[in-house]
Amino acid sequence: MKFSTLLLTFLFATTSFGQDKQAYEIFDAKGNKTSYEKIVKTAQKSRIVLFGELHDNAIVHWLQYEFTKDLFTKKGLVLGAEMFETDNQNQLNNYLNGKINQKVLDSTARLWKNYKTDYKPLVDFAKDKKISFIATNIPRKYASMVYKKGLEELQTISFEEKKLMAPLPIEFDGELPGYKDMLKMEGNHAGDKMPKAQAIKDATMAYFILKNLKENYIFVHYNGTYHSDNFEGISWYIRERDPEVSIMTIATVEQKDVKDLEKENHGKADFIIVVDVDMTKTH
């Protein structure tokens, strides 16, 4: 083979296969490319950040950790998460305060199966920096109660149990697109119980976020992206209680091509993180 032919072959190969691979890209609500630095700067002006995740996505868990560390250098933080239920707050506090070790926390709190890889780094950062970490989600048995028997069933529980959730009765807007889509996916077989079970989670997380706001601090909340997409869910319930509070939302989506935001993902949040669909899953 002539040298010129060999050179052309090499150049074609490097052009075709040597381009950098992007794991993720960040866009604003309108679909314009933006930057991680812009997210951090915008967060500094907010009272609440709802960081929506895909629970098994390695990139977004890394970004949550880096974002939390970087934001902490700018302003005081309170952290909170869907992944901890309100009746486990004492165990979480005892771990943060050094009264119990990880082994005891593992055996006394209902930790998610991906806790060690995805959420422990955030909790340990809070422990190291003496940051409050709030368990915001309703205990799962009560959400299950709503799914099986409806919101009305929560009126039968004790006064002490009701302290573990948003004050009852909660508002429920079945016309919100997210809840309507949930009904469609269920095929209406369970009536409106599924979206109402989701709503009691959203309302409870919103309630405990607002309850634990501190002056001149930012509350960073980690939740499944579907709990805050399209400014619904948690965000909607926060607005119902405090229309003036400043909220920044982050959504996470997967696409085959991360270079452009697909139309269906426009407007999902103030910032949308697009991750390559082939990204390694954490569980």
76 CB-contact burial (10 Å; exposed 0-12 / middle 13-18 / buried 19+) = middle
Q: Is residue 6 part of a domain?
A: no
Q: pLDDT tens across 87-127, in order? A: 999 999 999 999 999 999 999 999 999 999 999 999 999 99
For 93, other C-beta atoms within 10 Å of its C-beta total 15
Q: What is the reported pLDDT for 183?
A: 83
> Is residue 64 a contact partner of residue 83, using CB atoms and an 8 Å limit?
no
- Which residues have a Cβ under 8 Å from the Cβ of 276 and sit 6 or more positions away? 21, 22, 23, 24, 254, 255, 256, 258
Residue 185: φ, ψ to 5°: -65, -35
> What dihedral angle (degrees, nearest 10) is formed by the CA atoms of 118, 119, 123, 126?
70
Q: Is residue 57 part of a domain?
A: yes
Nearest to 204 by CA among 146, 125, 277: 146
Residue 85 has pLDDT above 80, yes or no: yes
Range of the domain at 49: 34-139+207-276
Residue 73 has pLDDT above 70, yes or no: yes
Residue 9 has pLDDT above 70, yes or no: no
- Which residues have a Cβ under 8 Å from the Cβ of 220 and sit 6 or more positions away? 43, 49, 51, 67, 68, 71, 77, 78, 79, 80
Name the least confident of 24-33, 182-191, 212-221.
182-191
Confidence label for 19 from pLDDT (cuts 50, 70 and 90): low
b/e per residue, 147-180, with b = 16+ CB within 10 A? beeebeebeeeeeeeeebbbeeebebeeebebbe
Q: Is residue 153 part of a domain?
A: no
Q: Is residue 200 part of a domain?
A: no
Residue 6 has pLDDT above 50, yes or no: no
Average pLDDT along the chain: 92
Q: Is residue 19 part of a domain?
A: no
CATH of the domain at 247: 3.40.50.11550
Q: Is residue 131 part of a domain?
A: yes
Whole-prediction pTM = 0.92
Nearest to 213 by CA among 233, 240, 242, 234: 242
Q: Is residue 54 part of a domain?
A: yes
Q: What is the reported pLDDT for 283?
A: 87
Residue 167 has pLDDT above 70, yes or no: yes
Q: Is residue 267 part of a domain?
A: yes
Total number of domains in the chain: 1
